[in-house]
Amino acid sequence: MKKLLYVLAAGVLISCQTQSENTDMQTDNPFYQEWDTPYGVPPFGQIKNKHYSPAFEDGMAQHLKEVEAIAGNPDAPTFDNTIEAFEKSGDLLNKVSNVFFTLTGAHTNDSIQAIQKEISPLLSAHNDNIFLNSDFFDRVKALYEDRENLVLTIEQNKLLENYYNRFIRSGAALDKEQKARMREINERISVLQVQFGENVLKEENKFELLLEEDQLDGLPENVKTAGAEAAAEKGYEGKYLFTTHRPSLYPFITYSENRELRKQLKMGYIMRGDNGGELDNKEILREIVNLRLEKANMLGFDTHADYALQDRMLNTPDNVYDLLDKVWPAAIEAAKKERDLMKAMSVEEGLDIDIMPWDWWYYAEKIKVRDYSLDESEISPYLMVDNVINGSFILANKLFGLTFEEQTNIPKYHPDVRTYTVKNENGELVGIYLSDWFYRSSKRGGAWMSNIREQSNMDGNEVIPIIYNVGNFNKPTADKPSLLSMDQALTLFHEFGHALHGLLSECTYPSISGTATPRDFVEFPSQVMENWVFEPEMLAQYAFHYETGEVMPDDLVQKIRKAGTFNQGFGTVEYMAASYLDMAYHTITEPLAMDINQFEDAAMNEIGLIDAIVPRYRSTYFRHITGGYSAGYYSYLNSEIMDADAFAAFKENGLFDETTANAFREHILSRGGTMDAMEMYVNFRGRKPSYEGLLERRGFN
């Protein structure tokens, strides 16, 4: 408890100091002002790096005062004076956080990174100051226990339940000693997580496969060039360097004809964190899973998985295993068939080998060329970025009646950002959409969606959402358009699906609106959008050749469709093996004493994984499970079951069927996290999701 008081005091102290220091700054600090910009989009042009820290510190201090006022309210707790009051609190902190965390991802710099390091521990302490506040918890608990007698809407009930669980899960109900132990555990886990990740990175950077010119048989010219450049960069002139970084690893194990070298590189990859010495991650992982078990037990859960799954759609370990066990038999059968095809190919080549993990990519590529004849370079000219963006807007219009109009007067944080108003079928404004699709060095890798302002509607005060998408596609140049790969086109529609989930939200409370849904549900509205991308009816709307303007010819469309089931056994098995491994670690009921490698082997033997495939992540570099995806790596599969099953409804009723689209919008996209996720799905589909759609899509039946 002492520690808690100390952190609390420190927090107040910092802000007292800064408050007096900052009085001058407040007059020109945009975070302290009302924004009179179009639609209340942050005035990015006026926000300077120096404005963040004071706004964060004052924002936390103000928020804490509001929380203390709620917790210390002499009136008996009501939903309004406790839960709703909390939803309305933290204005300044929200304002600065939303801008700041947009830029840490999309347009960062050294000074933002320095602020982030400084502010992260303060924010996590701030969080503890709220969710370990006993007076606040007592009020929430009293309401929760009396919930049958309160007259609450479905949404209010869900919100109350969320807060109650959040307090419990943070340890608010524990005694002093336990709370102290809880903080110790949390701190220790966060140190171990960082160390685990750093070790993986160091191991990755350490491994080198350095080759001579005569060891490059089979490699295409561009792969050789990349190898030569990598070698030159490290001072190995005239040689060729390949590493376990994926852009180096995959081309090599796909094309190299030298089986021994493929094995060396692949082994380098799968042994990361498992080589003994100071970078070995086995003991770190053991400590993490054991600490998690201790924490779960303290909070009254049998296992960490029970704890982690409490607020998910599949809310028990049994539900997760049920899902995995339904898909696994068909997946492993398909993978065995794929392996046998490869084996047959090796026999034809006169080798007759047992297919191993370092052979899979090599033979898969040969089969792809022989049986599918799909050449990406024929597809890309039909996927010019502006056309694909346009395609996503057309889809939103056909399904949900939305129109996107580009605007020039909305503030943006970088010139590459494009800004749109989004209107519904009646011409009413539903949201603001920013897109930022092109690579630049100030952006982190990957693609994502987030919001600058959540949708909410408290006391008739309707707040429309400000949603953005970010990507890393090549920027067009004066003489070269930006042509997307098939994967990139899918990514664009995927992230746009998240954006629609944010834009079409019609909820009351901001903390459960839009994409604030369980982790194993949130990828559903995004993944489902990928289904339309290569449907012939959809391609006819947007896939025009960038030079001739011709729509994609039928034979190309057919090739794309045929290749859709290629190598799916492998992809599914590799992913699911890692999901089983994740669950195995987090369903232990006694501290783990066994050697980590033995534990992994036992878990993989139990599901009958074949020698030709290793899990997508082995224990010692499985960063998802040391981070936020513990007992959650299965989530992608759960979302995919729903997306395949939901899309089947569109296939049955028509690709752009109005009734189906309306039901999807009403029961899924508009609801945020305001209801039980399974209930939402059942309301949309009339039944629980069936996994048959997924098996069919992946070619497993």
> How far apart are the C-alpha atoms of 111 and 93, rounded to whole Å?
19
Candidate ranges 102-110, 215-223, 516-524, 655-663; the one touching Zn ion (CB under 5 A) = 516-524
Amino acid (1-letter code) at residue 533: V
Q: What is the DSSP string of 236-252?
A: -TT-EEE-SSHHHHHHH
DSSP-derived letter for residue 41 is -
Candidate ranges 110-118, 132-140, 287-295, 525-533; the one touching Zn ion (CB under 5 A) = 525-533
Tell me the closest approach of the beta carbon of residue 448 to Zn ion, in angstroms. 7
Tell me the closest approach of the beta carbon of residue 434 to Zn ion, in angstroms. 17
Could you give phi then psi for residue 209, rounded to 5 degrees? -110, 100
Candidate ranges 395-403, 404-412, 526-534, 596-604; the one touching Zn ion (CB under 5 A) = 526-534
Candidate ranges 470-478, 515-523, 539-547, 566-574; the one touching Zn ion (CB under 5 A) = 515-523
Partnered with residue 419 across adjacent β-strands are 407, 434
Query: In the complex with Zn ion, which residue's Cβ is closer, 526 or 572?
Result: 526
Work out whether 517 is an interface residue with Zn ion (CB under 5 A).
no
Tell me the closest approach of the beta carbon of residue 452 to Zn ion, in angstroms. 18
Strand positions, DSSP E, 572-664: none
Query: In the complex with Zn ion, which residue's Cβ is closer, 90 or 465?
Result: 465
Q: Output the six-digit token pair for 176.
A: 């002093």
Which is nearest to 498 in space by CA: 679, 691, 639?
639
Q: Output the six-digit token pair for 31.
A: 């975070």
> How far apart are the C-alpha atoms of 327 and 571, rounded to whole Å?
13
Q: Output the six-digit token pair for 351.
A: 């080798």
> How far apart are the C-alpha atoms of 670 and 513, rounded to whole Å?
8
Tell me the closest approach of the beta carbon of residue 527 to Zn ion, in angstroms. 7
Query: In the complex with Zn ion, which residue's Cβ is closer, 522 or 655?
Result: 522
Amino acid (1-letter code) at residue 430: V
Per the listing, tokens 């982030």 go with 116
> How far apart are the C-alpha atoms of 4 and 395, rounded to whole Å?
51
Q: 591 CB contacts (<8 Å, ≥6 apart)?
A: 290, 293, 294
Helix 2-21 crosses helix 110-131 at what angle (to 10 degrees)? 130
Work out whether 450 is an interface residue with Zn ion (CB under 5 A).
no
Work out whether 303 is an interface residue with Zn ion (CB under 5 A).
no
Residue 131 near residue 4 (C-beta atoms within 8 A): no
Tell me the closest approach of the beta carbon of residue 633 to Zn ion, in angstroms. 14
> How far apart are the C-alpha atoms of 260 and 358, rounded to whole Å?
9
Query: In the complex with Zn ion, which residue's Cβ is closer, 84 or 523?
Result: 523
Tell me the closest approach of the beta carbon of residue 500 to Zn ion, in angstroms. 12
Query: In the complex with Zn ion, which residue's Cβ is closer, 315 or 526?
Result: 526
Query: In the complex with Zn ion, which residue's Cβ is closer, 523 or 574?
Result: 523
Q: What is the DSSP string of 328-339?
A: HHHHHHHHHHHH
> How far apart are the C-alpha atoms of 311 and 326, rounded to whole Å?
22
Candidate ranges 36-44, 500-508, 523-531, 605-613; the one touching Zn ion (CB under 5 A) = 523-531
The single residue of 155, 495, 530, 535 carrying the catalytic annotation is 495
Candidate ranges 101-109, 263-271, 341-349, 518-526; the one touching Zn ion (CB under 5 A) = 518-526
Query: In the complex with Zn ion, which residue's Cβ is closer, 244 or 451?
Result: 451
Residue nearest to Zn ion (CB): 526
Helix ranges restricted to H, 72-220: 85-87, 91-106, 110-131, 134-145, 154-170, 176-206
Tell me the closest approach of the beta carbon of residue 532 to Zn ion, in angstroms. 16
Candidate ranges 4-12, 159-167, 427-435, 519-527; the one touching Zn ion (CB under 5 A) = 519-527
> How far apart are the C-alpha atoms of 369 and 426, rounded to whole Å?
50
Query: In the complex with Zn ion, which residue's Cβ is closer, 227 or 673?
Result: 673
The angle at the Cα of 525, spanning 524 to 527, to the nearest 5 degrees, equals: 60
Tell me the closest approach of the beta carbon of residue 523 to Zn ion, in angstroms. 5
- Judged by DSSP in three states, 507 sits in coil
For the question of residue 495 being annotated catalytic, the response is: yes
Tell me the closest approach of the beta carbon of residue 498 to Zn ion, in angstroms. 6
Residue 225 near residue 242 (C-beta atoms within 8 A): no
Query: In the complex with Zn ion, which residue's Cβ is closer, 541 or 635?
Result: 635
- Judged by DSSP in three states, 357 sits in helix
Work out whether 526 is an interface residue with Zn ion (CB under 5 A).
yes
Which are the catalytic amino acids?
495
Residues that bind Zn ion (CB under 5 A): 523, 526
